Structure 1
Amino acid sequence: MTVFYVRKENYPVADKKLLLIDGNSITFRAFYALYRQLDNFVSPEGLHTNAIYTFKNMLDSILKQLEPTNILVAFDAGKVTFRTKMYKEYKGGRQKTPNELIEQLPFVREMLTDLGITSYELDQYEADDIIGTMAKKGEEAGYEVAIVTGDKDLTQLASAKTTVYITKVGVGELEAYTPEHMEEVNGVTPTEFIDMKALMGDNSDNYPGVTGVGPKTASKLIQEYGSVEGIYDHLDDITAKKLKQNLINDRDQAFLAKKLATINRESPVEVSLADTEIQAVDNEKLRTFYERLGFKSFLKELGADNIGEKVEDKNYEYSELTQANLSELTSQKSETLSFHLEMLGDNYHLAQFVGFALKFADELYVSDDVTLLQQAPLKAWLEDAAIEKSVFDLKRTFVGLHRLGIEATGLSYDMLLASYLVNNENNSNDLGEIAHLYQDYSVDTDLDVYGKGKKQAVPATPLLFQHLAAKVSVIEKLKGHLLELLKDHEQDGLYDEVEIPTAKVLAQMEITGVKVLPSTLLELENEFATRLVEMEADIYREAGERFNLNSPKQLGHILFEKLGLPPLKKTKTGYSTSVEVLEQLRSQSPIVDQVLNYRQISKIQSTYVKGLLDVIQPDGRIHTRYLQTLTATGRLSSVDPNLQNIPTRTEEGKQIRKAFVPTDPEGYIFSCDYSQVELRVLAHVSGDENMQEAFKTGYDIHSHTAMKIFHLDSPDQVTPLMRRHAKAVNFGIVYGISDYGLSKNLGITRKQAKEFIENYFEQYPQIKQYMDDAIKMARENGYAETLMHRRRYLPDIHAKNFTVRSFAERTAINSPIQGSAADIIKVAMINMQKKLVELKLKSKMILQVHDELIFDVPKDELEIMKRIVPEVMQDAITLDVPLIADSGWGHNWYDAK
């Protein structure tokens, strides 16, 4: 909500609050907050607007929280400052500011002026210096001072009168840095923080400190000696030889760094405190500004008096479709139509029907009577393949209509899938929320209309009809824009040839479902119940008393107080008894192993045995839903229930699969899955000749890798443990694993892990080159891309924080591999469904579990399925190495593996 400010006269000085905003820092954060939606935020004139839009939202949130009377937004004037004269490499290593951000900066300044807020820049000085100088002026004049920035360098300005607020993840979320907080976080005072920076140097600002000195050492030195000068005055007192020598060698660097790190609080700023008083908003200029940039939501915040007729009215003209006027549609013809079927709830296999909306030519019809869809001409239209239909969610619509006895065809446009491909970080399935991403606020979100959770209810008819009309209209309205964005991203092929056909295949799979035997699950339930009682008795015997096994507090008392096991971790409520903690204590007492086994069986019992029994439908089948727009990699996810996550590592978990059976008692469950598909994709995208040769000649890739990292001459020398280690390296490399991560996974030293990785890259040199190139491309483009042009946006690839940036770099390496594997299995599903139809087979594709496809196969079709399924899967895409698919079959899913 827009906050309106006017000049407030005759304030007592003690009640005045000066807010100083680091303009460059906040604008930079605003730009990357919506970087994934960059192409969605474009003005009618073609200007990118994501930074301006988010800056405004952040500003509103900041003003609401801090309630200042005076504001100044400071900007950098340019790259050349008094610091670059001292050290020409200052800030020299920074990435070039994106042009899409540079073009928005003048408009941020213009918006601030229209909002009555002063902005300022000063030649040869940075925004930090302006803020430091104005903060000093404010303190001296008795003002309360607040500084908002994303740069912790400004925390050196914190004092009894000044609080520095650091922006965190999220629009307007702030962390307050006071002198007390500074000492708690860094162990030093705000002014001593300058000396810490001098010792550490700053990679972001590109100036060195003292070699080998990090935050902990720097803090310790400053706590002991007070300042850089104090350290060098007492150099002889430092006993650590290497540290002392580094301090001697880098003395000049340390003192230079202190000068560079120190904010100039005496800058020749020409702005007075009076100039920072908030002025009245210029509504007319602001309205013109928002109209020019296409900010409809901000226009609405100004109020109807200010925007006149310029904001699109939410009300839509429609006709209510009834039994009485249904016949009027018979004579009307259209080659295209937009259609929306409304259901209440996520699980469209069971959801209550609410109504529908239909738009063709210039006519818009709505109704809350879905039985009208079962009558002519609507049923005929929906089943006519010659009429192209645009919907919000193709799969949901298809399944919903199927429940009404309508076999829809001609479903050619899916707004949800189009939006997902353009911006796969937004996984909302709410049409209103997605429309808002494209700055169309003409349709309310479902939460606004229906409420939430148990409070969900169908609204009164006028509101419902308006909501349905808005939804079907926005489907049509955004279609051209989204399809154009897909074409610009070279994703139209991925959309038309992969995602849309996949949605149709998944709809058929979900409708078919998978047959599950309740009797098998009930047998397992009884077996596990008996075992759990026996396991409880064993645990109580070992503990010497009965207690509540499901109470972490009581279990913690037994393990760490009564039995004296070492507590590895504490929580707010007591000892941690997490799986991670107990795994480390497994060897120290039999009771730990017993508790872990008990938890494992208990989870299988509650989640899978009882859980699956609850969702078997009257037809004897489970109808899961596949989420096609959830993951950023393109992998499918199964929910209601999740059939991709049935345990396979334990025998008890595997037993669950015995309940999954074919339709025909004499039939088969047929399973076929890709062998090491991600590694094969890696061999292809990297072009590594050694890895490609291993796959082409049929070597066991893990044994092949083991030979190289352990310097062996023959595969016969590879032990199972060596192969396991090599497998961890192979898959770890795909995920950009570090030597530290590998050492933890394998329980080896970090030195050994580092040696494994070095040997790996020595054997597969082009994979190292691929990894470097993938990170470089992500930095240049802002995203990683699969073989089929699926994008994964990576705004954190430029983050200052090492951990955050490193995760983005690992994602840049992995996404093209994991995402391409996801695309390949989708192509295999599409081609397999075509083959089943082409050969008129009765076999049905019923499940997809990542790299595995599962079929319900009649007895007389088993032999042909053995032949065609691996063929189709292996021919899904042509890589530089062969794809291999391995098959299995049995009278239940357990036996098929």
Structure 2
Amino acid sequence: MNKKLLLIDGNSVAFRAFFAMYQQLDKFKNPEGLHTNALYAFKNMLDVVLKQEDPSHILVAFDAGKTTFRTAMYKDYKGGRDKTPAELSEQLPYLREMLKDMGIKSYELANYEADDIIGTMAKKGAEAGYEVAVVSGDKDLTQLASDHVTVYVTKSGVTKLEAFTPDHMKEVNGVTPTEFIDMKALMGDPSDNYPGVAKVGPKTASKLIQEYGSVENLYYHVDEMKKSKLKENLIAGKDNALLGKKLATIKCDSPVEVTLDDLSYEGSNVDDLRRFYEKMNFRRFLADLAQKGELTENKTEVKKQDYVVLSADNLDQLPKAAEVTFYLAMFGDNYHLADFAGFALKIGGETFVSRDVFLLQESPLKEMLEDSAVQKNVFDLKRTTYGLYRLGIKAEGLSFDLLLASYLVDNEKNSNDLGELVQGYDYYDLKTDLEVYGKGKNAKIPADDAVFFNHLAGKTAAIAALKDSLLKQLKDHEQDDLYDSIELPTARVLAKMEMNGIKVQPSRLKELENDFAVRLKELEEKIYKEAGEEFNLNSPKQLGVILFEKLGLPVIKKTKTGYSTSVEVLNQLKEQSPVVSDILEYRQISKIQSTYVKGLLDVIDERDGRIHTRYLQTLTATGRLSSVDPNLQNIPTRTEEGKQIRKAFVPSSPDGYIYSCDYSQIELRVLAHVSADPNMQEAFKTGYDIHAHTAMKIFHLSSVDEVTSLQRRRAKAVNFGIVYGISDYGLSKNLDISRKQAKEFINEYFDQYPGIQAYMDWAVKDAREKGYAETIMHRRRYLPDIHAKNFNVRSFAERTAINSPIQGSAADIMKIAMINMQKKLDELGLKTKMVVQVHDELIFDVPADELETIQKIVPSVMQAAVKLDVPLVADASWGHDWYEAK
């Protein structure tokens, strides 16, 4: 087998990966709040390169720090670079973890750059007969290209690569790879912050090196050159050029301690990689592992369970009991639609199993499941309740939920696969569903009944075995009230909401589909007219030719196939030509059409004309609820076209109402409460517009009346940014201002709200002492990295310690409001149904004759959910569809 060495410039590619997916920065966060966009894009790059190169040996090299032998030569080397964004820095330690789990060696060397490590290993590899591939985000490493070394430079993100060989270097730069060093010496490098020769750019530098071969030879003959401004500049810039060559030259004899043998690539540690993907919420990569059949089998011998197989003939053998453990097995996560697999029931010391779920509709099973006096221990109360509801059974008495209890004790132990979850409690003799049901979309229960029934019996045994221990831990952590009074009742409310669903009129969606189609056609024709010709609007290549060649717009960024026409690029150009704004509008409407209009039409339940979303109660570390299949929390609200989607969501009765009530700035109110900052509390107690109040403070105005709309917008960004631990970099991007100005805004904010700075300092100190952060209701978020030696890892944990109590308390308040609201509806015997929860907003389906009652009770119930040092405010609106209700 031919040996191939793959060398990757870790910092450079990570930087490119971060900015390649910067527009999706806020979308790519794991349940802990860690940004993951760079990790995701880096992994995509690795997949492409591993498939393309099929390496036998791999190394990812990282910079060890800012101080190197080059800074000793030139103290301002790389001195002009901005500080790495915190949103990227926090991901770098986890990048190394991902590489380790993938079986890839990473390495850094004090006093040297990643380039020097790569140069040294490339030389060793080539000398040892390896084919070498180098991947970087910039062209500095192209000087290493040779007959046995190909250098790939990322283009258009990180998954498209341009290959630099000696021939390609000659074609692109007019010089050989080693001569490229001399070119850089003459040009200088603004990125690395060292000067070259004044007025010497790439073309002049290339021409000079083609003629003289090297910087040294050029200066040997410089006196022979004709008098010119170039000659004067060359003579004046001699020291810069000679220094630049030293700085630009990659050191290929660095004291690297790893050997080629150390870099042998044997593939991933799949179990570790799976855990990493789960921690980062990388569902696509998890699905890839499962689809490829790469997840390893449970090597531990599974404990043999005793059980009785139930059938219609022996149902009368079931003993009566005041407490039972029950598990309903289904294929897949979407229990609204998943096929039933079977069930298990543990009563005392006996366990009963069956594939036939319709037995549950028979006596005495149905009576037992519907008897509130019989306490049931289950895994995932909401899933179980909904599954039984599909079988026509109204479950009562579900009193212990292993999933919820485990999630509260440690929010990382929240797998929806019981077999996987209990392994975290040293209960290693239970297989996962994937291992038993099979792999892939068409997974089937094994033909061997014994395997399946033993699996079901093991599940009920695990639930029963872990119950007392988890309940004790909840009590020890003062979380028993959080569990009993918030999480369990919330699960019951959510189950009811999922059953209710929300009515959707397909005719309105189809009307929107037609309207959008007409609008898209109009925009298409308008764009063709502005462009002067027809072309494929969905082809970036054709669009690039129109914009940058025919219309002569300035080129912002190039890709391997032509010009970049990304949203980021088009936003920079929209003021220069009306066609750009039309293209952006076309893309926006097209996305809404495909994702939401057509997407929602596909998920309307034909039986009742409703959409039944699922709520994920144990996904986020903060306790915030998420909506999936479909995600009703993600319907666009910033554009009028996005808002139009809500017109399709209507009440059950023709004359009824959709009623919306949402908390006003709940997280900022929680922040005012926990920080006890007098200025912020004053703003909320007196009913000021908090953003205008903040603007007044940080811009030193005498009253809120003097605040401009721009100042308010900037203050709003700072207010919400503080809650989420925003950096000066993040704020500068959000407001399109300099990092220095963003930093000044943040500093001014803390000057005006000193209590918030004091709270942040206390929150970090408290988390260091306890090892966790805690909400008002004692929801814990463990922070093992709060003592980490790595600055970036520790900094992320510190930011989490600050914002988790705020976000988590807001989530708890919403859950309390939902519980109390459902109680009120039940107490009054109202037909009104709570149908959707969107972050800080509750949506109700209200009959016309109950609207007056709902107007009185909903805001009052929500505002009375908890008592803070500042008032909770809930704003309501209503209409004959969700659009009118907003």
TM-score between the two structures when normalised by the length of structure 2? 0.67
Q: Within 5 Å, give how 1:620-769 maps onto structure 2.
A: 620-769=609-758
Q: Within 5 Å, give how 1:122-161 maps onto structure 2.
A: 152-153=109-110
Code of the aligned partner of 2:372: A
**How far does residue 738 in structure 1 lie from its aligned partner after superposition?**
2.7
Aligned twin of 2:479: 491
Aligned twin of 1:826: 815
Deviations 1:46-78 (A, max 9, x none): xxxxxxxxxxxxxxxxxxx999xxxxxxxxxxx
Query: Within the alignment, does 1:585 sit opposite 2:573 as a pair?
Result: yes
**How far does residue 365 in structure 1 lie from its aligned partner after superposition?**
0.7
416-425 or 789-798, which moves further after superposition?
Answer: 789-798
Separation (CA, whole Å) in 2 of partners of 1:366 and 1:817:
45
Q: 1:789 aligns with which of 762, 778, 785?
A: 778
- 8 Å CA contact retained: 1:670, 1:855: yes
Aligned twin of 1:837: 826
Deviations 1:739-765 (A, max 9, x none): 332222222333432332222212110
Aligned twin of 1:372: 359
Aligned twin of 2:511: 523
Query: Within the alignment, does 1:480 sit opposite 2:480 as a pair?
Result: no
Aligned twin of 1:538: 526
Query: Within the alignment, does 1:325 sit opposite 2:305 as a pair?
Result: no
Structure 2 vs 1, CA of residues 238 and 867 (structure 1 numbering), >3 Å: closer, same or farther? farther
Structure 2 vs 1, CA of residues 551 and 163 (structure 1 numbering), >3 Å: closer, same or farther? same
**What SS does the aligned partner of 1:776 have?**
helix
Separation (CA, whole Å) in 1 of partners of 2:771 and 2:255:
32
Q: Within 5 Å, give how 1:68-107 maps onto structure 2.
A: none
Structure 2 vs 1, CA of residues 593 and 779 (structure 1 numbering), >3 Å: closer, same or farther? farther
**What SS does the aligned partner of 2:842 have?**
strand
**What SS does the aligned partner of 1:342 have?**
strand
**What SS does the aligned partner of 1:723 have?**
helix
**What SS does the aligned partner of 1:485 have?**
helix
Deviations 1:586-631 (A, max 9, x none): 2232222111111111111111111111111121111111111112
Structure 2 vs 1, CA of residues 302 and 401 (structure 1 numbering), >3 Å: closer, same or farther? closer
Structure 2 vs 1, CA of residues 410 and 514 (structure 1 numbering), >3 Å: closer, same or farther? same
Aligned twin of 1:600: 588
Separation (CA, whole Å) in 2 of partners of 1:850 and 1:648:
13
Aligned twin of 1:860: 849
Q: Within 5 Å, give how 1:309-348 maps onto structure 2.
A: 313-329=302-318, 332-348=319-335
Structure 2 vs 1, CA of residues 156 and 587 (structure 1 numbering), >3 Å: closer, same or farther? closer
Q: Within 5 Å, give how 1:446-525 maps onto structure 2.
A: 446-460=433-447, 461-525=449-513
Deviations 1:123-146 (A, max 9, x none): xxxxxxxxxxxxxxxxxxxxxxx9
Structure 2 vs 1, CA of residues 752 and 614 (structure 1 numbering), >3 Å: closer, same or farther? same
- 8 Å CA contact retained: 1:512, 1:623: yes
Deviations 1:424-474 (A, max 9, x none): 235531111112222323222122222333332232133222221222222
Q: 2:803 aligns with which of 814, 817, 836?
A: 814
Code of the aligned partner of 2:674: V
Deviations 1:77-120 (A, max 9, x none): xxxxxxxxxxxxxxxxxxxxxxxxxxxxxxxxxxxxxxxxxxxx
- 8 Å CA contact retained: 2:834, 2:843: yes
Where structure 2 has 5 or more consecutive residues not aligned to the other structure, the ranges are 1-30, 33-54, 58-102, 123-129, 144-190, 197-214, 216-236, 244-253, 258-295
Structure 2 vs 1, CA of residues 586 and 842 (structure 1 numbering), >3 Å: closer, same or farther? same
- 8 Å CA contact retained: 1:579, 1:596: yes
Q: 1:432 aligns with which of 407, 419, 423?
A: 419
TM-score between the two structures when normalised by the length of structure 1? 0.66
- 8 Å CA contact retained: 1:517, 1:659: yes
Separation (CA, whole Å) in 1 of partners of 2:105 and 2:486:
46
**How far does residue 219 in structure 1 lie from its aligned partner after superposition?**
14
**What SS does the aligned partner of 2:342 have?**
strand
Structure 2 vs 1, CA of residues 449 and 891 (structure 1 numbering), >3 Å: closer, same or farther? same
Separation (CA, whole Å) in 2 of partners of 1:701 and 1:578:
36
Query: Within the alignment, does 1:410 sit opposite 2:397 as a pair?
Result: yes
Query: Within the alignment, does 1:894 sit opposite 2:883 as a pair?
Result: yes
What root-mean-square deviation, in Å, do the aligned CA atoms of Structure 1 and Structure 2 show?
3.9
Q: Within 5 Å, give how 1:391-402 maps onto structure 2.
A: 391-402=378-389
**How far does residue 834 in structure 1 lie from its aligned partner after superposition?**
0.7
Separation (CA, whole Å) in 1 of partners of 2:842 and 2:615:
14
Separation (CA, whole Å) in 1 of partners of 2:776 and 2:714:
29
Query: Within the alignment, does 1:615 sit opposite 2:616 as a pair?
Result: no
Structure 2 vs 1, CA of residues 353 and 594 (structure 1 numbering), >3 Å: closer, same or farther? same
Aligned twin of 2:160: none
Separation (CA, whole Å) in 1 of partners of 2:195 and 2:467:
57
Structure 2 vs 1, CA of residues 387 and 728 (structure 1 numbering), >3 Å: closer, same or farther? same
Separation (CA, whole Å) in 2 of partners of 1:893 and 1:755:
41
Separation (CA, whole Å) in 2 of partners of 1:602 and 1:303:
46
Separation (CA, whole Å) in 2 of partners of 1:714 and 1:303:
67
Code of the aligned partner of 2:421: I
Separation (CA, whole Å) in 1 of partners of 2:354 and 2:631:
34
Separation (CA, whole Å) in 2 of partners of 1:263 and 1:439:
44
Aligned twin of 1:548: 536
Code of the aligned partner of 2:797: A
- 8 Å CA contact retained: 1:147, 1:163: no
**How far does residue 578 in structure 1 lie from its aligned partner after superposition?**
2.5
Separation (CA, whole Å) in 1 of partners of 2:698 and 2:297:
66
- 8 Å CA contact retained: 2:389, 2:395: yes
Separation (CA, whole Å) in 2 of partners of 1:188 and 1:572:
17
Q: Within 5 Å, give how 1:136-285 maps onto structure 2.
A: 152-153=109-110
**How far does residue 694 in structure 1 lie from its aligned partner after superposition?**
1.1
- 8 Å CA contact retained: 1:186, 1:219: no
**What SS does the aligned partner of 1:324 have?**
coil
Separation (CA, whole Å) in 2 of partners of 1:755 and 1:154:
34
Separation (CA, whole Å) in 2 of partners of 1:419 and 1:303:
22
**What SS does the aligned partner of 1:316 have?**
coil
Aligned twin of 1:51: none
Separation (CA, whole Å) in 1 of partners of 2:750 and 2:488:
39
- 8 Å CA contact retained: 1:188, 1:219: no
- 8 Å CA contact retained: 2:600, 2:630: yes
Q: 1:358 aligns with which of 331, 342, 345?
A: 345
The sequence identity of aligned pairs, in percent, is 67
Aligned residues: 648
Structure 2 vs 1, CA of residues 302 and 738 (structure 1 numbering), >3 Å: closer, same or farther? closer
Structure 2 vs 1, CA of residues 616 and 179 (structure 1 numbering), >3 Å: closer, same or farther? closer
Separation (CA, whole Å) in 2 of partners of 1:732 and 1:821:
16
Structure 2 vs 1, CA of residues 682 and 161 (structure 1 numbering), >3 Å: closer, same or farther? closer
**How far does residue 312 in structure 1 lie from its aligned partner after superposition?**
6.7
Separation (CA, whole Å) in 2 of partners of 1:668 and 1:885:
18
Deviations 1:164-218 (A, max 9, x none): 9xxxxxxxxxxx9x999999999999xxxxxxxxxxxxxxxxxxxxxxxxx9579
**How far does residue 321 in structure 1 lie from its aligned partner after superposition?**
0.2
Code of the aligned partner of 2:439: K
Structure 2 vs 1, CA of residues 151 and 526 (structure 1 numbering), >3 Å: closer, same or farther? same
Separation (CA, whole Å) in 2 of partners of 1:480 and 1:153:
52
**How far does residue 795 in structure 1 lie from its aligned partner after superposition?**
4.1
Code of the aligned partner of 1:383: E
Structure 2 vs 1, CA of residues 878 and 218 (structure 1 numbering), >3 Å: closer, same or farther? farther
**What SS does the aligned partner of 2:326 have?**
strand
**What SS does the aligned partner of 2:441 have?**
helix
